[in-house]
A = this chain, B = another copy of it.
Amino acid sequence: MLVQGHHRQAIEPQSDSRTALILDQTLLPHHIEWRTLSTESDTAQAITTMQVRGAPLIGVTAAYGLYFATRDDPSDSGIHAAYDRLHSTRPTAINLRWALDRVRAHILPFTTTERPQAAWAEALRITAEDIQTNVAIGQHGAQLLHQLASTRAGAQASPSPTLNILTHCNAGWLATADWGTALSPIYHAHAAGMAIHVWVSETRPRNQGASLTAWELAQQGIPHTLIVDNAAGHLMQHGLVDACIVGADRVTATGDVANKIGTYLKALAAREHRIPFYIAMPTSTIDWSISDGVKDIPIEQRSPREVTHLSGLNASNERQEIRLTPGETQARNDAFDVTPAKLITAYITEQGIRHKL
């Protein structure tokens, strides 16, 4: 999608040098800086420090990581060890395991000499398929939004033709190779001429809504308004939200959804106000091996410092970190929560809309 008017992807494989360019998302929205990944360790660090994040993009990036590892040590034991190291970078997103499984299964039948080339080719295929998947999610989701808009226009109580969509965190193109999951239907509907306005919830503690989603939507020219996470219930209570669309980090076989912390509170409020709550995700986000999301999905605990400190631009436009709390304050930082299937209206996947998994 657009970065200062030019089409870019969140990860750009360089076939001549066998490296991959990523946009360092920890510096957005204030600095646009591309980094080159050329080793497994680069890649693991980019995932752990969240220079790349978002379940689909973590998967795609890890595929290149396993290529780098295979290039350096194509033995079975080398590949298995690299798989384990890359797999341990983030615990919740299932796409990480899915992509690593896929690359490993693809390359093991080859000779050690052929393996690096096979890994690179598979990483390229995973990237291309992620983009196709997200386009399909966008097309199916845009149809859903068109239906929603025409139902609303048919109802008497609709004063404005603009559809108000609430999203949480960032499940835009920055969370995937391109297009995004939750934002792809919005991009597609907007391109087809639908009047859309997006409520962007800031998504504490890492503020991916405020720093990534608001930036993406601005680059793409989509009308949007930033709100604090606390405001979602109030807006719904006042009829200002027509639908919620969020992404997913892992979905159980029964449809429970792990997504960014705070998703669950929004889903509870949406049910209270009979507002449709959609999960947009590739089917690779489904973990068919588990069913009870609250019990079975591992929830990543991140540093309390993400809660007590924040970075932004100071008055001289320099990046600055500040501490918000008294020095001795203890904080707890669960990165995800689980929204039970009963609160979810439908899943927008590349295969179409599913009301149940």
Chain A residues near B (Cβ < 8 Å): 29-30, 202-205, 207, 210-211, 214-215, 218, 224-235, 237-238, 260-262, 264-266, 268-269, 272, 294, 299, 304, 307-315, 320-326, 328-334, 337-338
Contact = CB atoms under 8 A, between A and B. Distances in A.
- In the A-B complex, the 7 residue pairs with the smallest Cβ-Cβ separation, listed nearest first, are A230-B262, A312-B322, A234-B337, A233-B264, A204-B228, A226-B331, A29-B326
Nearest to A237: B294
Contacts of A228: 204-205, 229, 261-262, 307, 333
How many copies of this chain? 2
Contacts of A261: 228, 230-231, 234
A211 B235 CA distance: 26
Contact of A337 (B204, B233, B315, B338): B233
A313 B314 CA distance: 12
24 contacts: A29-B325, A205-B228, A211-B324, A214-B329, A218-B328, A225-B331, A225-B332, A226-B304, A226-B308, A226-B332, A227-B307, A228-B229, A230-B260, A230-B262, A233-B262, A233-B337, A234-B261, A234-B299, A237-B338, A265-B266, A268-B272, A314-B321, A320-B320, A320-B322
Contacts of A266: 265
B324 A310 contact: yes
Given A237-B338, A310-B312, A322-B320, A229 B214 contact: no
A262 B203 CA distance: 13
